[in-house]
Structure 1
């Protein structure tokens, strides 16, 4: 056995082999050496189990695969063929071209994050976005933190710490990661007072719950689920009027945070941020990476007296945003202010895209795949439904078209795995034992990757 191990080449010998030259040209010597050592360890383990000494070519190939996987980024670009437009697992909102350029420019070196160009003195990172946010929403002031849950906890802690927060029982939502609104309110240092029932809450329920210890009336838009049938909830303007009479501030947590009326595209109407501001809510909170179509952020907009207090809260430092988030958000907001968001912001473009365009893209993609003439692989266009996703517009679907792939050699699960393991990873969904690629969420520039993956089936 010892003599068998001696037949294995040394690391030095492998490094001198011309077949390793390509690895050394593409990767660092350290990475190649570690990969070769790992491949030799695998060879020794195989010999110990009765295997033969592998050829040098096989060892170098094994090392090449190891070094390739090691060099591959874990967080990387992917192709979304799931039909879920705001896919949390795939990074939620795809950024606009303007936002991607802004991020790349700021990431490329130093930036004007917290400095005033005119005076040369220290400035606020919030200044890059607050003016545009107030222009778009009509709010007196605005503040950006790292996500909407942070926005809610900051606002509640600032306005209602050691006091009571009154909210409808039907709005006690659970967000992603099993985080629940009652727990967030508790961690913010406030006491929760539930009013009404799961399906029906009236303005009198809020009024009867108000006491001298009431610090906040909170409305939470159920953006990730929907109650239908025998249901009733209080409109934001009614709640604001009650709060004005009682001297209690009102907060409206909109969650998905739309600035554009999606009913224009055949979907049910989603409450707009500017409507809640106009109704008089003291603070309106919403996400940046859902229907807004920007980077992950939590946005607070509303009356200056409340926003300024939130800004002064020490928690604001703990949940502040970084320069890349702000770059993407500013660029996205500028599209809303100065450009055409329905055309230039991918989330809205995907929602508004005419079915005829989707079908045309699907048929072209199916033809390109079938033209490969891969034995046993067939593509056809089928009717399907896309979803907004990301905790937005629950229960609403958009007519779409998918390329359905079937293989005589691979099951639907195997096809899904094959596409996910491609570079870039391509994600679809499986329905009725068929692998589907919904083209509503596939950027046309990613089609060559889809065809290339199909060619390797």
Structure 2
């Protein structure tokens, strides 16, 4: 390399690493990532892709764009409020702030006044009991499946669990309730048929080896027509008379009745009807973090909390903080999306269509996440050519639309209004890219 070679002007590695932008990035990304980006910027200059004096600016831009996680933020334009593939419910600002607070040292199991150990998750427990006064006690574990596993293990390991055949559900990724319960060491005693189960079926099945009566809300499907099911109140009377606990798995995490989805069972009503324990998820209709919610009679919940498995499935400090903030703060984003005003959605869709083109069409959103199956959420969407969907998904920011009936539908129900400008820019950029000649058209909205 002669003295006139422009590559001699490429900044040294130690100089770049010592720059303020690089040293700040090390705290966020780690030294290995920063060093790799430094080398990449230098290599681009060596190949002649950029001028040597551009290396610091290119490095700064790269450091700004790189995230500490490979997870990418996505604008949810499907109209599905609880979208499992997108992480279910987005956290509220209060919950995000709570997670940041809990990221450091916190008094998760410490009484600061006395300096002694305290019970874990007291604040989240208190918030749950304040929101669901029908419950005597609360317990939080790491997800809804864990809540049900803990209930069946603590109350019926090695014994029978009576459950209706019509409630032996399968949810996403091939996850089946019978397999889950079998893993606990309990034995299923199925009663009734797929479409009809009667109180006498339960009565006949309960014997000295029975540990639990289990009722499961079939949250991701509906059976219509010639059907019959036994109510919680009926099962409660039977359970009390036969001396076995009644556990009800609600799934969706609705704590109180919601007139928008009247057929979706809630914790307060279910406990009021006589359930001993309910289990539910925290990241569905509750709108919080992934968590398993357990509410019910103190004697039963305490029995579950003392079981050795409770330690293995306990919630971490971030989930507990986010759950508390979700319960005590303003309406969560999922609730706002669920109850979005259709007229306002139409106004926003019309504004988007005026900026990027396309046609505003009526479009029903969905609750998603296995909640309120078949219940439409009236709204509007901007209809674009189906081929633009790929560019939207791979753009920055990434936008997930619904591809249906040969059209790419942009539904703003789950997009915060503060992101409308970002969405408009993203759609405009996607429309400006060359479209593929053919694209497999598929409905990208979960059922």
| Superposition TM-score tier, normalisation by shorter sequence | 0.7 to 0.9
Residues 119 and 31 of structure 1: CA distance in aligned 2, closer, same or farther (over 3 Å): closer
Residues 284 and 422 of structure 1: CA distance in aligned 2, closer, same or farther (over 3 Å): same
Contact 2:256-2:269 at 8 Å conserved across structures: no
1:334 is aligned to: 328
RMSD: 3.1
SS of alignment partner, residue 144 of structure 1: strand
For 1:111 and 1:325, the matched residues in 2 are separated by: 13
Residues 67 and 345 of structure 1: CA distance in aligned 2, closer, same or farther (over 3 Å): closer
For 1:176 and 1:429, the matched residues in 2 are separated by: 19
Residues 32 and 301 of structure 1: CA distance in aligned 2, closer, same or farther (over 3 Å): closer
Using structure 2 for the length normalisation, give the TM-score. Answer: 0.84
Residues 10 and 286 of structure 1: CA distance in aligned 2, closer, same or farther (over 3 Å): farther
Cα deviation, 1:236-283, whole Å, max 9, x if unaligned, reads: 010111111111111111111212323x23x34211101121122121
Asked whether 1:277 is paired with 2:256, we answer: no
Residues 257 and 422 of structure 1: CA distance in aligned 2, closer, same or farther (over 3 Å): same
Asked whether 1:309 is paired with 2:303, we answer: yes
Aligned pairs for 1:138-149 (under 5 A) are: 138-149=134-145
Report how far residue 129 of structure 1 moved: 1.8
Report how far residue 433 of structure 1 moved: 2.7
1:354 is aligned to: 341
Contact 1:289-1:297 at 8 Å conserved across structures: yes
Query: Greater shift after overlay, 154-163 or 130-139?
Result: 130-139
Contact 1:79-1:427 at 8 Å conserved across structures: yes
For 2:326 and 2:165, the matched residues in 1 are separated by: 35
Residues 66 and 364 of structure 1: CA distance in aligned 2, closer, same or farther (over 3 Å): closer
SS of alignment partner, residue 451 of structure 1: helix
Aligned pairs for 1:426-445 (under 5 A) are: 426-445=399-418
Q: 1:89 aligns with which of 85, 89, 93?
A: 85
More helix by share: 1
Structure 2 unaligned residues grouped into runs of 5+: 433-447
SS of alignment partner, residue 419 of structure 1: helix
Asked whether 1:403 is paired with 2:382, we answer: yes
Contact 1:24-1:32 at 8 Å conserved across structures: no
Residues 331 and 24 of structure 1: CA distance in aligned 2, closer, same or farther (over 3 Å): closer
Q: 2:105 aligns with which of 98, 106, 110?
A: 110
Cα deviation, 1:347-391, whole Å, max 9, x if unaligned, reads: 222222221111111112222x23xxxxxxx23311111000011
Residues 348 and 25 of structure 1: CA distance in aligned 2, closer, same or farther (over 3 Å): closer
For 1:127 and 1:429, the matched residues in 2 are separated by: 41
For 1:36 and 1:111, the matched residues in 2 are separated by: 36
For 1:10 and 1:241, the matched residues in 2 are separated by: 87
Report how far residue 431 of structure 1 moved: 2.0
Report how far residue 42 of structure 1 moved: 11
2:227 is aligned to: 231
Asked whether 1:254 is paired with 2:250, we answer: yes
SS of alignment partner, residue 165 of structure 1: strand
Report how far residue 285 of structure 1 moved: 0.6
Report how far residue 81 of structure 1 moved: 0.6
Contact 2:10-2:42 at 8 Å conserved across structures: no
Contact 2:143-2:292 at 8 Å conserved across structures: yes
1:323 is aligned to: 317
Query: Greater shift after overlay, 269-278 or 186-195?
Result: 269-278
Residues 164 and 429 of structure 1: CA distance in aligned 2, closer, same or farther (over 3 Å): same
SS of alignment partner, residue 454 of structure 1: helix
1:389 is aligned to: 368
